[in-house]
Structure 1
Amino acid sequence: MPHYRPPTEPTATPTKVALAAGTALYRVHSARREAAAFNPVPAHCLYGGGRFDATACDPYGYLYAGLTPEAAVSESVLHSLPFDPAGGARLVPRVAVEGRRLSVLRSTVDLDLVSLVTGQDLAAVHQDSWLVQTEARDYPYTRDWAHWIRTHTDPWAQGFLWSSKRDPGARALVLFGDHCPPDALVATADAPIDFATADGRYWLDEVLLPYHARLAP
């Protein structure tokens, strides 16, 4: 576990990748928040929060999404969910999806992201796969690294892109509200999939099935 502090200055150039205007993004989010609204609430510096959330040390709006519905679901509800030694399906607690829905967004402008996909991408920010693969216990450290990367890619970096931990063939991303123009994302005409409904739970179970998981009864 590389619990070392970031260097004062980077010695390599972080990899820039463009997210083209018109790209579809899939977001699992609270039903209380508009589909394209950035989360304005900083995480605690030490407790709770997500991998690349804002904190009081670096406050910004943030929005996580996947480039596929499966990536969005995997990143949001399969956190630290162990496999059953007896071979049974992994059970996703109902609390993990309570009050949540999946919405489809579209980018309206080209967005420049820091790529954290390959070993070379990660080495360019003095890191390895730990940064995008470690579990929640290390998120205070990954948030600190995110703030350092933001500082040294300002003003061009509008977010990060990486391989989903739960579905490595798919891509997950985070966008930063303070670096994206207003209305950089819009909700599409696709109806949100509300996990509080029977249809939403059925849809979610169908997505979870290939991951040997399902909603708990």
Structure 2
Amino acid sequence: MSDFFPMIELELRPNRHVIPADTELWRVHHSKYGAGQFNPKLADIHFDGGRFEGTLLDPYHSLYLANTSITALAESVLRSRTFEPPAGMRRIPYRTVWQRSLSVLRTRCELNLVSLIEGKDLAAVCQDSTLLEDESNYAKARRWASEIRAQAPDAMGLIWESRRNRSQLALVLFHDRFEQCDGGPLEVLQGGGIPDLGSQEGMKKANDILEPLRAMISEPVWQ
């Protein structure tokens, strides 16, 4: 567990969202990493890194998931993608899925998460939707994730409404909160995902999943 300690005078009162054991969750990840492997990379305190990744001040490893396959894909590939005329489709560059996989996993233990799903949940941690929607200040989001961790030492991660597939859920897990979960929090399920999103078969399957969101992966252009 991190030695990070509260740095603000505000008292947070986090609401909880519990995901039962044996729940299926989905993840897009680099193919060279295991589907259930936490990302060991730490974000820069001020600049580069994901919204809720650990930093040198609070060096936890992170693992992002979603409750459905379409949400996992949307969270991974639809950032800053606009609807293009005339067909109104969102085209996803091939490089976005190259050497990446979509995997399905099952929880081995109950996940006790801090909820950021509703306005009341964000208010409970003295925040609003900016925490989830501001693309220009991930450093603040990382700092606040550490504050939540410090004031909710039993929380295993955070969960919120997906920005790219509204009403569905995205979540992040903290590696240092699973000491009591034998074998780690997630079991990889074989045969349910897409091992190579960059292959012809993988792109077809992914495009079928993304079709309701009017999005598709572009064919690669080889030089």
SS at match of 1:188: strand
Cα distance in structure 1, aligned partners of 2:146 and 2:32:
27
Cα distance in structure 2, aligned partners of 1:144 and 1:40:
18
Shift in Å, 1:49:
1.8
1:98–1:46: structure 2 CA closer, same or farther, 3 Å change rule? farther
Amino acid at match of 2:123: A
- Unaligned 5+ runs, structure 2: 1-5
Q: TM-score, normalised by structure 1?
A: 0.91
On the 8 A contact 2:94/2:198 being kept in 1, the answer is no
1:93-133 deviation per Cα after TM superposition (whole angstroms, max 9, x unaligned):
11111110001111111110000001000000010111122
Q: Does residue 216 of the first structure (1) align with residue 218 of the second (2)?
A: yes
Q: Does residue 66 of the first structure (1) align with residue 66 of the second (2)?
A: yes
Cα distance in structure 1, aligned partners of 2:87 and 2:190:
40
Matching residue within 160, 163, 174 for 2:161: 163
SS at match of 1:72: helix
Q: Which residue of 2 aligns with 1:189?
A: 190
Shift in Å, 1:134:
2.3
Q: Which residue of 1 aligns with 2:175?
A: 177
SS at match of 1:143: helix
1:12–1:54: structure 2 CA closer, same or farther, 3 Å change rule? closer
Q: Does residue 118 of the first structure (1) align with residue 118 of the second (2)?
A: yes
Q: Which residue of 1 aligns with 2:128?
A: 128
Q: Which residue of 2 aligns with 1:3?
A: none
1:141-167 deviation per Cα after TM superposition (whole angstroms, max 9, x unaligned):
21111111111111x100001000001
Amino acid at match of 1:170: Q
Q: TM-score, normalised by structure 2?
A: 0.88
SS at match of 1:29: strand
Shift in Å, 1:7:
7.2
Shift in Å, 1:191:
4.7
Shift in Å, 1:86:
4.5
1:182-215 deviation per Cα after TM superposition (whole angstroms, max 9, x unaligned):
4211101335402122111001111222112111
On the 8 A contact 1:10/1:152 being kept in 2, the answer is no
Aligned pair count?
A: 210
Cα distance in structure 1, aligned partners of 2:185 and 2:19:
11
Amino acid at match of 1:215: I
Percent of residue pairs bearing the same amino acid type: 40
Amino acid at match of 2:138: Y
Which residues of 2 match residues 19-168 of structure 1 at below 5 A? 19-84=19-84, 86-135=86-135, 137-154=136-153, 156-168=154-166
Cα distance in structure 2, aligned partners of 1:7 and 1:164:
28
Cα distance in structure 2, aligned partners of 1:56 and 1:172:
24
Cα distance in structure 2, aligned partners of 1:48 and 1:88:
32
